[in-house]
Amino acid sequence: MNEKKIVSNKIADDLQPVSMYQMFARMFAHLAKEVVDEFGEKGAEAIKRGVWNFGVERGESVAKRAFARGKPNDSDNYLVSYDMDRSDEFESTDSYHEGYVEQIFSRCVFASEFQKAGMEKYGILYCEMIDPAIAYGYNPNLKCIHDKHFFTDNMCTFCFKMEKCKGSEE
């Protein structure tokens, strides 16, 4: 018997793979669009609540990761305990200060995918909610200030500040 085995999880060498980040962004945009188109503002609010709940769950996981490393869930240990690998599809600079961390993204696959598809209106529902929710789940005293967005500023800026800590005054 002359059988030929085919490995089905391999893509052809001449095809560019689509990353899970790209697929996630596309899927989110399409789901959010359907919900918002069908239910209007109530749908948008439901999507934002879902993103918030997802983010809080992730933040709780990040706190467990910090704890597993023997570290407190403060601003210094937030990004280093994060639950999502940073692929080359993201590019950021992190600056640590007493009581807060600043993060500037110059590349984000999620924003790029939302923009390529003309789905910024739906992508922003994710972008505005996810990081504040993750920070809250990690530590309710860690506030996320997200001043600039790719859709308007061609970059994203974040400041993760611990409330009532030296250096965290606005």
Q: Is the pLDDT of residue 50 over 60?
A: yes
Q: Which of 66, 98, 96 is nearest to 165 (CA)?
A: 98
In angstroms, the CA 74 to CA 168 distance is: 12
Q: Mean pLDDT over residues 25-43, rounded?
A: 98
Please name the CATH architecture into which domain 20-83+90-162 falls. Answer: 2-Layer Sandwich (3.30)
Q: How confident is the model at residue 20 (pLDDT cuts 50, 70, 90)?
A: very high
Please answer whether residues 167 and 95 qualify as being in contact, where contact means their C-beta atoms are separated by less than 8 angstroms.
no
> What interhelical angle do 120-138 and 109-116 show, nearest 10?
160
What's the mean pLDDT when you consider all of the chain?
Answer: 91
Q: Mean pLDDT over residues 137-145, rounded?
A: 97
Check residue 169 and give its pLDDT: 44
Q: Mean pLDDT over residues 108-127, rounded?
A: 97
> Which pTM value belongs to this model?
0.86
Q: Is the pLDDT of residue 168 over 50?
A: no
Q: Mean pLDDT over residues 73-97, rounded?
A: 92
* 3-class SS of residue 83: coil
Q: How confident is the model at residue 87 (pLDDT cuts 50, 70, 90)?
A: confident
Lowest mean pLDDT among 10-14, 34-38, 51-55, 112-116: 10-14
* 3-class SS of residue 63: helix
Question: What residue spans define the domains of the chain?
Answer: 20-83+90-162
Check residue 9 and give its pLDDT: 62
Q: How confident is the model at residue 116 (pLDDT cuts 50, 70, 90)?
A: very high
In angstroms, the CA 105 to CA 93 distance is: 7
